[in-house]
Amino acid sequence: MKMDKQDQGYLCPHGYRMRLIDGKLRHLLKNHTIVRLVGPHGAGKSWTALAQARSVIAADDEGIRPIIETNPDRALQGGLSPHVIDEWQLIPSLAKSAAQSRDGSFLLVSSVDGRPEEERHLASTPIVRLWPLSLAEAGLSNVSVSLMGLFTHNFYPMSCPMGLPEVAEAICQGGWPRLQGLGADASARLIRVLLQTVMENELPKRGKRIPMAVKVACAHAACDWQATYEDYAAYARDRGEKPFSRNTARDYRQLFLDTYLAYVVEGWRAPIRSTSRVRFKPRMQFVDPSIPAMWLTHTPDTLLQDAPALLSLLRCLVLRDLNVYASVLEMEAAPTVRYYADSDGARADAVITLSDGRWGAINVAIGETQFDEAARGLTRLRSKLRKNPAAGCPDPTFLAVIMGSCTRPRLDKKTGVYAFPIGALTM
């Protein structure tokens, strides 16, 4: 996808591949004095910001940083609007200066979550999260199934040539813009360098060590996205290692969240009248499937020989793409992506809720042979909600099973559940 000339900022880099979030950023910058763009190192934040920018200053530029630290207002003066301040969190006083400015619009870019005392000056500013590239943005989806189309009952799928080998390749390569087309092996090496750089920058500030960060990350990746501390401990014992403490797990997990390498998936508190045990505990998920794939030394070939690992990483990929597409469905709102699970077998890997109350639920499956089980979890959820009409919760606008490989994209007449491959999805 390429950007129209009239939509580009003066500083749009040559060869910039348009991101789905571009239109939302333009809208927000026209209607707000400050917009924040956050995301992990390597996701393409700087280029995405420059695509909107007419001027820029980088707080991580050692040549000008001492000047800005001495006079924070300097970073805001003289720039054309929209004015980008890259890695603003390195100079916390920039938050207050931007908030007090009445001249133009500012796009504050950061790859590390700021401290509460910094962010209180920006409490009312919209935050846009940039994810690694979705399959649609990377040109790997045939874009025949629209997420918004599912909410409006428009479903016109085409057959998708993307099979499990291609999905496994996409998982291991990930959505990092600079790594597109390099192949899974080269990508894995460079992803390791990327994460090493992030940890070397952040861990010393927190008194933490890289070996323990790697150990916690590997344990979380191996125990799937539903991991508890007990799962971590069992993982360590199975390898003849002493389990790390709960506090250690908590501290390093927070590091992954603060650097936007991971995010929290909240549980959906569905208005269900039932005695079944419902899970609400937040789950941590990596922002891109290439991260856990790299930690666990998976390759496309090993994934095709390990169904549980393939399903776990496919779920990570689907959730990444759903978050990318959901984030641009509404200009002034951010639709929520949560999960649902209970002890009766009702479950949804993703529940997407729009600001007007419409919602849809999605499960992830490897292929057609898992469709019935995945669809059953969704229809049980729908049935439970219908048994409590007093709660006023509407029926789901759609239910869908997204698969790694799907030979027959369709609306299943028996269950009312859509079936299609991840290689067909777009916004």
381 vs 79, residue with greater confidence? 381
pLDDT above 50 (res 2): no
pLDDT of residue 1: 40
pLDDT above 90 (res 264): yes
pLDDT above 70 (res 276): no
Q: What is the pLDDT of residues 278-328, one digit of tens each?
A: 778 899 999 999 999 999 999 999 999 999 999 999 999 999 999 999 999
Q: What is the DSSP letter of 133?
A: P
The mean pLDDT value for 402-423 works out to: 97
Backbone angles phi, psi at 179, to 5 degrees: -100, 0
315 vs 387, residue with greater confidence? 315
pLDDT of residue 3: 42
Backbone angles phi, psi at 337, to 5 degrees: -120, 110
pTM, whole model, 2 decimals? 0.93
pLDDT of residue 119: 67
Strands (E), 255-305: 262-265, 283-286
User: Tokens for 119?
Assistant: 């962010």
Residues paired with 145 in a beta bridge? 425
Mean pLDDT, the chain, as a whole number?
90
Element (H, E) at 402: strand 398-403
- CB contact at 8 A, 25 and 37: yes
Q: What is the pLDDT of residues 43-63, one digit of tens each?
A: 999 999 999 998 888 888 888
Q: What is the pLDDT of residues 193-249, one digit of tens each?
A: 999 999 999 999 889 999 999 999 999 999 887 778 898 899 999 989 999 999 999
Identity of the residue numbered 396: P
Domains belonging to the chain, first-starting first, are 5-129 (3.40.50.300), 145-426 (no CATH)
pLDDT of residue 274: 65
Distance CA 358, CA 349 (A): 17
Q: What is the pLDDT of residues 321-355, one digit of tens each?
A: 999 999 999 998 888 999 999 988 999 999 999 99
- CB contact at 8 A, 108 and 58: no
pLDDT of residue 62: 87
Q: What is the pLDDT of residues 88-102, one digit of tens each?
A: 888 888 877 888 876
Q: What is the pLDDT of residues 112-151, one digit of tens each?
A: 986 656 667 787 899 999 999 999 999 999 999 999 999 9
User: Tokens for 215?
Assistant: 């150990």
268 vs 272, residue with greater confidence? 268
Strand order in the sheet with 417-421: 336-341, 347-353, 359-365, 398-403, 417-421, 410-412
CB neighbour list of residue 390: distance below 8 Å, 6 or more residues apart: none
Identity of the residue numbered 421: P
Distance CA 94, CA 74 (A): 10
Element (H, E) at 70: helix 65-70
pLDDT of residue 30: 92
What is the share, in percent, of the chain residues with pLDDT greater than 90?
A: 65
pLDDT above 70 (res 403): yes
Residue 360 to residues 211, 267, 381, Cα–Cα distance (Å)? 41, 15, 11
- CB contact at 8 A, 289 and 174: yes
pLDDT above 80 (res 73): no
Counting Cα atoms < 13 Å in the Cβ hemisphere of 216 gives: 25
pLDDT above 60 (res 7): no
User: Tokens for 130?
Assistant: 């940039």
3-state helix, strand, coil in the chain (%, to 5): 40, 15, 40
